[in-house]
Each structure stands twice: as structure tokens, then as C-alpha cells.
A and B are shown apart, each in its own frame.
Chain A
């Protein structure tokens, strides 16, 4: 991989008896967006906390922008921004006062802290709300302000830990827009998420994490293609289950799962057209109320990947 700006090798981290990371390897090329995808407890946040110098690994090493996250933590801190799962801003202060404070704490000169705050408020659509207290902001506005505080010093790498968890669709769209704008500036972004569509929207590259390890790596399309599509069939009558199962087995090569008293679901390798499937079912005398060929959900991608891992 050319010129990685974030590198992690064999990271291990345990909290008490819980092994959060078990040999995590990761490499993120400069100027790209990498999505860390995985369920709660997979180790996403632990990985980000180590890379952002908040936590030390028990074993393994990591470097950000060329500096070791343990030995040169301060150099790393000068080059990163971190937006965690909460809007970590002062609710009692105005948006502008927050940015000026964080600008000063980033050691920007007073004047630059002011102009940079105004510039970013303007750019991310918070200029009108700048002099209101953050306590009155919507969830999306808070997260945007939170994001801006990371940008005051123009970070080389931005860590976003579940940046849209708990936001309504409008808030999510606002954050997505902001992240896209940053990528346009050349900032490298490492974001964790539980949502495949979020990774899909934003990430150039996805690392699927499970139980403290990266278990799959690729672009969103590559991952989905590897998993294949999913075929759901709803029957008009449960008596058609058996012949339908035979047809689906013939198409997919595996036994379909019963997802209801009158419905079946099966992972389908690429290259099948819906029309062909309808014809096959028809020929077997199965009356279907609904047939859907769809891309896999995160749950399915994830369950398939972990199942492969276990059987391998």
C-alpha cells in the first residue's frame, strides 16, 4: 500500500479479563477514508483510542503521521483530531467561545484562533448559531461543532468514532457532507461505524473488525461482492416451502433459511437475474407473493465473514 499515514501492527489490549484487541493490523493510505466496521465490542473504539494516544497498547506498535503513538504521543497529538461518540464540547458556552477556547488549547495564536473559528463556523453552516449556547443546539449541530473543534489546527489524520450514532437522518446527512468536504481538503479520515451504509457513503476502504482483529479488508463493493446478494422469497402459501427450498438450493448451492412461516432467505452468488429466478420458481409450481434480490445488510456481511472465519 503506498505511503500509509496510519499503521498498526499486532495491537493487543486487554481491560481486566476482556481482550479488546487481539493482534489488530491496520494500514491507512494518506488522503483516504478508512471505515472500521464491526459490532459493539469488536474493538473499534479501543483501536481508535490507541491511535489517538488516549490508551497504550499492551503489545504491538502503532504510528500516526510517522510518529509512534506511545513514544512520541505529543507529536502525534499535534497532527490529529479526535471526535468521539459524544459531542465533547462545553454546553454552557457558545459555539464561537468553544472554538476559540479549543483553538487556544491547540496553541494557535489568539488572532488565528479567532479567524479560524469564524472561518470554520461559516464553512460548516454554523455561522448563524455561533453566538448561541451549545445547550440549545440540535444533535446534528453539536456533532458538527464537535467535528470543527478537531479541524482548528488542520489535522493530518482525523479519527471519528461513530460520528453519527444517535443522530436523525438529517443530522447524519449533515455530518456526511462535512466529512466529504474534509476529504476534499486531503485530510485522512479513520472512522468507526456500525452502519454499512455509512461506510458505503464515506469510506474508500473498509476494515471489518471482529473480536479484536481485522477479518476482512476491501472497498465496499469488493466486500459486498465477496458476500454476494441475498434472495428473499415470500410464498403465497406455506405448502410451497418444500419445492421452493429445492429451487433455492439449486440456485444458491446452500440450504435457504426459513425467516418466517411462509418465507425463505438465501445468500446468492453474483450473476443471477431476478427474471430467471421468477421463472425457475414458476416452473416448480411455487406461487410467490414477493421476491426480492438485495444487497446484504451489515448483519449479513458480518455474520457471513465471522462464520467463514470460524470454519476456516
Chain B
């Protein structure tokens, strides 16, 4: 079986310079508490988009007393415009598995599961080969790296085509054989996750970063980025630019500087964070990509001057109407209403009263939806209405 991967262009990535398994060796020489302290000291926050402090998540799970615990690698990279996890899994799968192994040691898990999206099925043979080699080298299995009593293995489980399964509790439901419908929280997965056992769910890039942190140290990591957003981040850049691809930048880079690097100057807007993110107009390109300004999982879609901004909103809302799991009312009914409003605006025929109602509904969705999908799907809609008021108002009704 040929192990196929697909690569992308971009700039040089730090991961290429990290020697595999140096970090794992360093971590296994530490106590479990020291491993978690190291992650906390690094300031690492979840790279999937939500930005939860990784050390804190591990600490919650480590504190639980249970015979079985799991660490799950969230490889359900479904946020529109995001493909950096595909590149990490293609080029640096060892670092991801290393991060999972370190996490497994820290929280006391014996099994790691990679939840790989169905659209990336072609990566499965490659990942299984890397896992097999790690078993052969004693980096997985019984007594990992000769550490007595530390048994840890990794398997790959396949998604079946549902954006919402990137949400960690929906992902767990899917692994258990149910519809990928998010759970009420609490309890959080760290307390009661897969099969009710304490479970950590981390993004692919978060886990690769863990391996890098243990290889190079927390001071090295903290030298990148800002105080509140430590380290570097991979950005998936697509759309109207000369050099789309996967780029690494320290947190805190301005949108303008990023656009310069990728040949995207002259853009009228940039969608940051995918369909669930925000649309930033050119006048705000001095803003920074960082948890303290614009947090993101790394999707950067460049929108050129020739594009119709309402078409952008329509594309995202079609996506959400398709991908809403339908479980909670605000999300199930709210997304189609936003789509209806955008289509009426495109025709220059949206009654102001209706638009005001839909905006109020969108605000309601952000607080009343059950999970991140419905809480964030209004972001693009609302930011486009606000940022492009003139363009939208001047819209001539089509004949």
C-alpha cells in the first residue's frame, strides 16, 4: 500500500528543525506533575481555535482518578480554509504522536486515538505506517522507551463527514458510535469523556507543539509571540494572494505583515478563522493575530477587491446550513434566516425591519446555541454587515 500525502507551499517551518523523540525522552525523565508544569510554563494554548490552555486541560484530566483515560488527537480539520493539520500530519506525524505520548504519560492514559476526518482518508496508510514504525522502535507499546509501567499505544479512527465533529464532545459521541451531536457541559471531557472516562482532546498542531517544547525548552518557546500568546502558529493561507500555503509566524503578526509575506496586498478584506471567524476589512489590517486581539485556528482567506462581500457571507452561511447538526433550535433555525437575509441583500430587496430582526436573532445565537458551531456561525455575517455597510447599502436592486 502506498502511503500518499499531499504537500503545500509556504515558508520554512520550525517543526522541520525539531529532532524527533528528543522531547519525548526529556519528558519521560520527568515526573508527571513536572511534565504538566512544563506545558503550563510554556503558555501553550490550543491551536484548533478555541485557545484553551493546554497545561490546564491536562491538569484537570490528570487529577481524575480512573482506571482508563484517553488522549485524543483532533484531526477533524474541517474549518473552511484550514489545512495546516494536513501538512503537519503529512510531514511531521512523528511529532504529533510524540506529543500524544507525552500527554498520555502526563494524564495517565494508555491509549491515544487520532480522529481523522473522512476527507483525509488518503492519509490513513501513512499515519498507520508511522505508528507501526514507532511500535517497532519501542516508542509505543509496552514500557515506552523502557519506562517501566508506561504502556501507551495509538490508533487511528475515521470520521464520517461532519464538520461539527471537530467540536470535542461531538467528536467523542462520534467515536462512541452516535450522531455527532455536542454534549452539554459540564461535565467536561477531562472529567467524563470517551465512554465516560477522563479524556483529553487536543488539536494536531497543539500536540506537535508539545513535542517541540520538550525538545527545545519553555524559554525557547516563549521567545516567540507575545506574553498572552506564546510561541509560533501555523496559518493556512488561501484565496486571492500570489503564494497560498502553510505559513509559520509568531503570534502577534499584523494582518498587513502577513499579507505582505503571501503576496496578498491590495485585499479588501481577510476572513480570519474560517467560516466561524470574522471578516476584517482593509482599514483594520493593523490588527494582530493573537489571542488578545484576533484569536484564530489559523485560517486566513484573502478576499480581493474584485469580490462581492455578500457572496462571501452567502458561501459561509450555505456551509453552516449544511453543517448545523440540528440538535438545538437557535442554530438549526438561525442559520437559514441569516442565509435568507443575505440573499435578499444580494438582490437589494431586504426589508430593514427583517434585517434588524435577523441581526437580533444572530446575537441570540451567539449566546443561546449549544456549541461553538451555532455560537460562532453569526460572526462572519455580523462582521460583514458591520464592516461593509457602505458596500451593502449601495447595492443596486438587480433587475
B is bound to A: no
Residues on B lying within 8 angstroms of A by beta carbon are: none
